[in-house]
Structure 1
Amino acid sequence: MSVSKTIRPAQEKDLPEILAIYNDAICTTNAVYTETQTTLEERKAWFLRQQEAGFPIFVAITGRNDQEKIAGFGTFGQFRPWAGFKYSVEHSLYINRAFQGQGFGGLILNRLLEEAVKMKLHLMVAGIDSGNKASIRLHEKFGFTSVGLLKEAGYKNGQWLDLNFMQKMLTVR
């Protein structure tokens, strides 16, 4: 029996599972360059900021109605806070470790790209730790290209981390 996979907009009720996935990424990976876990209150504030700014948050759902599990989530926001960047966004994508390698990352990324095109955005950026080869491959599969490596841009758990920037043009000039 195959695993059911659905993408839908995140709801406030999803925040505890979103928080668990995000904090697990903080504790077990270099996907987030911090060692400090976030709180539910901070995630609620983030959720409201994203909504107010008009930026989507999508969750990947597996299971049936009464037994739904969030396999991952993704979002994007303005790349930089100045007006000249209003058509450029940077996205984030996190998958529950129990569901990695099952296609959820691609489903969420595809939905983020569709939404960005619908919003008439021009460029999507991904900042990916250089050691995260699976994420880099996923982004390449979706047409992202590496455009720069920031050597030792981050520091976590006693080590310097390199940040790989990738981009995908969403509109053609």
Structure 2
Amino acid sequence: MQIRNATAGDAAAIAAIYNDAVLHTTAIWNDVTVDAANRADWIVQRQAQGFPVLVACDAAAVFGYASYGPFRAFDGYRMTVEHSVYVDATRRGSGTGRHLMQALIKQAQTDGLHVMVAAIEAGNAASIRLHQQLGFQQTGLMPQVGQKFGRWLDLAMLQLRLNDRATP
């Protein structure tokens, strides 16, 4: 497995992983799928803003991706990012998500960021467990703030402090 920066050539694979999550999981709280052009634009925009888009791949295919971006739009949050990580359904549980997360955390530390936030559907025990194994701590639970598939969804908030700086 290789972890590398995404390129426009990865957009179709990223769209397929994203769309599977939209259609079949509560990991993404959207109802609308996207096409490769949408994901190519997303990659360009993220990278232009200085945020990484990483992919997990082998010689044959991309089978996971991860990124982070602003947690909130206000200046005071500029050292905090919210991330996302998604893995092809056939590769979940294979360690791909862990490898992507480790690379993403390292990148955030290199970028001098202070906190990484994870917002995870509270019923996604595998994702919450992975994040906790990587040092994230659950800091909140927001009951019934979302909905999908005809039911209310709770949002678990987790965070990882990326460094021990006493001041910004």
The farther-off stretch of 33-42 and 76-85 is 33-42
Q: Which residue of 1 aligns with 2:37?
A: 41
Q: What is the CA distance between 1:38 and its match in structure 2?
A: 1.8
Aligned residues: 165
Note if 1:161 corresponds to 2:144.
no
Q: In the alignment, which of 25, 28, 33 is matched to residue 24 of structure 2? A: 28
Cα distance per residue 1:50-97 (max 9 Å; x no partner): 0110000000012x3xxx211200000010111111100000000001
Q: Which residue of 1 aligns with 2:106?
A: 114
Question: Residues 43-122 of structure 1: matches in 2 within 5 Å?
Answer: 43-62=39-58, 64=59, 68-122=60-114
Q: Which residue of 2 aligns with 1:170?
A: 162
Structure 1 runs, 4 residues or longer, greater than 6 Å off:
none
Q: What is the CA distance between 1:41 and its match in structure 2?
A: 2.7
Q: TM-score, normalised by structure 2?
A: 0.96
Question: Residues 11-22 of structure 1: matches in 2 within 5 Å?
Answer: 11-22=7-18
Q: What is the CA distance between 1:42 and its match in structure 2?
A: 2.1
Structure 1 unmatched runs, 5+: none
Q: Which residue of 1 aligns with 2:128?
A: 136
Contact kept, 8 Å, 1:35 with 1:157, in 2: the verdict is no
Q: Which amino acid aligns with 2:96?
A: F
Q: Which amino acid aligns with 1:26?
A: V
Contact kept, 8 Å, 1:76 with 1:92, in 2: the verdict is yes
Q: What is the CA distance between 1:129 and its match in structure 2?
A: 0.4
Q: TM-score, normalised by structure 1?
A: 0.93
Structure 2 unmatched runs, 5+: none
Contact kept, 8 Å, 2:12 with 2:35, in 1: the verdict is no
Q: Which amino acid aligns with 2:18?
A: Y
Percent of pairs with identical residues: 38
How well do the aligned residues superpose, as a CA RMSD in angstroms? 0.8
